[in-house]
């Protein structure tokens, strides 16, 4: 019996041991399967970590690099052996390194994560790149951080584009703010959403006083409806250039020129308008002044036309009505002298001769007045004139009039001018004739004609060594019937230089003189 009990107990123990062994084998198998699965996952993670096209790295509690992705080494140009075991901060710029050690890492080891940290990394070749870093920590059973995994995105190009955009916006804003033109932008309701300082100053306001207000609020009532209609046309895509009146803060008005165009959103719907505005008040006032001047000029032209008609009537009167009795006086005086001259007492005969001489002088004065009045009525017939040849002809005629005089005449050769030849002859006849006349008392006369440069143009001159005149009296030199010398010393009517000035003015030129008493005179003139 004891043997049966012993055998039964052994069998039960064997069965229990076999069951435990089976359970252990089952647990071991599950564990092996788990280990195999974990090893396979580890290999997958390792593959993903190394081969993903993203910069990845992991660091330990001391900030030393435990691993880096292939893309990390590819971007920075290092081999894995050159970086593992080094501090991750070694690859930062000095500024980024200070930021990491003083701010980012202490916060990371406190919280266990960080997002979108701006760093600058230094590549092996010294090139600096911008990255955004995000990291998460791995903790042990006690919750302490043992390592971290960081992801870095290269944003160098994006940063460069952002910088360029900011610089472009800064330049644009500077251009807009410093522009001499007023610039405004309005929303779809016509309210100002942007304006530069120039526009605010135009209205005598500060920028905040105008923002949010409708543009039409500043338009003068007289042009409000017209400007509103133009503003509505912008909704239909119409760009316009128009003028209107704005009311300043102090109530004064300012004329402006507006160039406006519509603004559309991405869908093509009307979103507002943009306009450049110029202050044209001065131009408007000038236009009004010009209009007034035009009216005055029209009235003056009518007066001149009337005066010309009166002058023509005067010329007719002088040439016909006045000359007729003068001819009678001259004729009857000649008859008296011829028929009764021998019988007249000497004083009476002299009186009749004075009547004849006076009639001759009066007739000559009438001719002079008629010629002077016609200087502006004769049309200009410009052509190329050999002025040197013309001056030579006039001087030759003067020599023939007084062949006994010792005179030296110098003419610059080859002088040409675009002028009316008949009127230019009158000019030179007077100027050279005066030079000849006023140098008659010199033992040896010297006359000279030529050109000199004057204010980028060519000026003609006639010079003599004659009596000259006091420049203090030069203001009356070209006035009709004004003489600077006594008529007993030098004969003349005092109309010659006035005629010369008229002719030169008709040519668009200018005449002036330089002289000194007893040392001659020089007359200069230009032709337009």
Nearest alpha-carbon partner for 493 in 433, 407, 440, 448 = 433
Asked whether 394 and 409 are in contact (CB, 8 A), the reply is no
Q: What is the pLDDT of residues 114-163, one digit of tens each?
A: 999 999 999 999 999 999 999 999 888 888 888 888 898 888 888 888 78
From CA 495, how far away is CA 266, in angstroms rounded? 81
- State yes or no: pLDDT of 28 exceeds 50: no
Q: Measured between alpha carbons, how far is residue 63 from residues 120, 194, 523 in Å?
A: 17, 51, 100
- State yes or no: pLDDT of 287 exceeds 70: yes
- State yes or no: pLDDT of 375 exceeds 90: no
Asked whether 114 and 107 are in contact (CB, 8 A), the reply is yes
Using a pLDDT cut of 70, give the percent of the chain over it: 79
From CA 315, how far away is CA 320, in angstroms rounded? 8
In this structure, whether the domain defined by 52-161 belongs to CATH 3.30.450.20 is answered with yes
- State yes or no: pLDDT of 44 exceeds 70: no
In this structure, of 30-34, 229-233, 517-521, 524-528, the range with the lowest mean pLDDT score is 30-34
| Residue 409 vs residue 367, higher pLDDT | 409
Q: What is the pLDDT of residues 459-504, one digit of tens each?
A: 999 999 988 888 877 677 777 655 554 554 445 555 778 888 888 8
| Helical packing angle, 346-373 and 323-340, nearest 10° | 160
Question: What would be the CATH architecture of the domain defined by 182-279?
Answer: 2-Layer Sandwich (3.30)
Spatial CB neighbours of 392, under 8 Å, sequence gap ≥ 6: 411
From CA 104, how far away is CA 94, in angstroms rounded? 14
Structure tokens at 295: 């009216």
- State yes or no: pLDDT of 43 exceeds 80: no
Structure tokens at 319: 């040439």
From CA 26, how far away is CA 34, in angstroms rounded? 12
Determine the topology of domain 383-525 in CATH: Heat Shock Protein 90 (3.30.565)
Average pLDDT, the chain: 81
């Amino acid at each position: 019996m004891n043997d049966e009990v012993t055998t039964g107990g052994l069998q039960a123990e064997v069965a229990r041991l076999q069951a435990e062994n089976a359970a252990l084998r089952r647990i071991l198998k599950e564990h092996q399967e788990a280990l195999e699965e974990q090893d396979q996952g580890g290999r997958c993670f390792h593959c993903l970590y190394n081969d993903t096209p993203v910069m990845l790295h992991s660091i330990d509690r001391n900030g030393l690099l435990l691993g880096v992705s292939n893309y990390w080494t590819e971007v920075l140009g290092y081999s894995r052996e050159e970086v593992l075991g080094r501090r991750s901060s070694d690859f930062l710029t000095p500024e980024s390194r200070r930021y990491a050690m003083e701010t980012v890492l202490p916060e990371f080891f406190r919280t266990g994560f960080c997002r979108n940290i701006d760093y600058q990394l230094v590549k092996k070749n010294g090139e600096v790149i911008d990255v955004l870093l995000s990291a998460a920590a791995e903790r042990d059973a006690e919750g302490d951080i043992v390592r971290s995994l960081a992801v870095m995105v290269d944003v160098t190009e994006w940063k460069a584009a952002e910088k360029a955009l900011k610089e472009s916006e800064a330049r644009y804003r500077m251009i807009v703010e410093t522009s001499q033109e007023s610039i405004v932008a309005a929303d779809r309701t016509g309210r100002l959403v942007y304006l530069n300082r120039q526009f605010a100053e135009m209205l005598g306001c500060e920028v905040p006083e105008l923002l949010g207000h409708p543009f039409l609020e500043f338009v003068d009532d007289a042009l409000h409806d017209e400007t509103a209609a133009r503003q509505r046309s912008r909704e239909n895509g119409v760009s316009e250039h128009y003028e209107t009146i704005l009311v300043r803060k102090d109530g004064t008005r300012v004329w402006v020129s507006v160039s406006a165009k519509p603004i559309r959103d991405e869908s093509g719907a009307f979103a507002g308008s943009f306009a450049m505005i110029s202050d044209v008040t001065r131009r408007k006032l000038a236009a009004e002044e010009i209009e007034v001047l035009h009216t005055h000029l029209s009235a003056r032209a009518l007066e001149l036309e009337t005066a010309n008609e009166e002058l023509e009537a005067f010329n007719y009167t002088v040439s016909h009505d006045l000359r007729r009795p003068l001819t009678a006086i001259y004729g009857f005086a000649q008859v008296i002298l011829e028929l009764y001259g021998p019988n007249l007492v000497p004083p009476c005969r002299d009186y009749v001769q004075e009547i004849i001489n006076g009639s001759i002088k009066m007739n000559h004065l009438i001719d002079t007045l008629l010629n002077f009045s016609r200087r502006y009525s004769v049309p200009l017939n410009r052509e190329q004139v050999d002025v040197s040849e013309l001056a030579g002809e006039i001087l030759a005629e003067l020599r023939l009039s007084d062949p006994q005089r010792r005179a030296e005449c110098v003419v610059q050769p080859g002088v040409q001018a675009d002028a009316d030849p008949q009127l230019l002859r009158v000019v030179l006849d007077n100027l050279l004739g005066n030079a000849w006349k006023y140098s008659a008392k010199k033992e040896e006369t010297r006359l000279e004609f030529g050109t000199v440069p004057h204010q980028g143009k060519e000026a003609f001159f006639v010079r003599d060594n004659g009596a000259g005149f006091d420049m203090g009296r030069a203001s009356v030199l070209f006035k009709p019937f004004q003489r600077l010398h006594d008529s007993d010393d030098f004969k003349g009517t005092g109309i010659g230089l006035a005629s010369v000035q008229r002719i030169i003015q008709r040519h668009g030129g200018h005449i002036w003189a330089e002289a000194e008493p007893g040392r001659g005179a020089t007359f200069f003139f230009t032709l337009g």
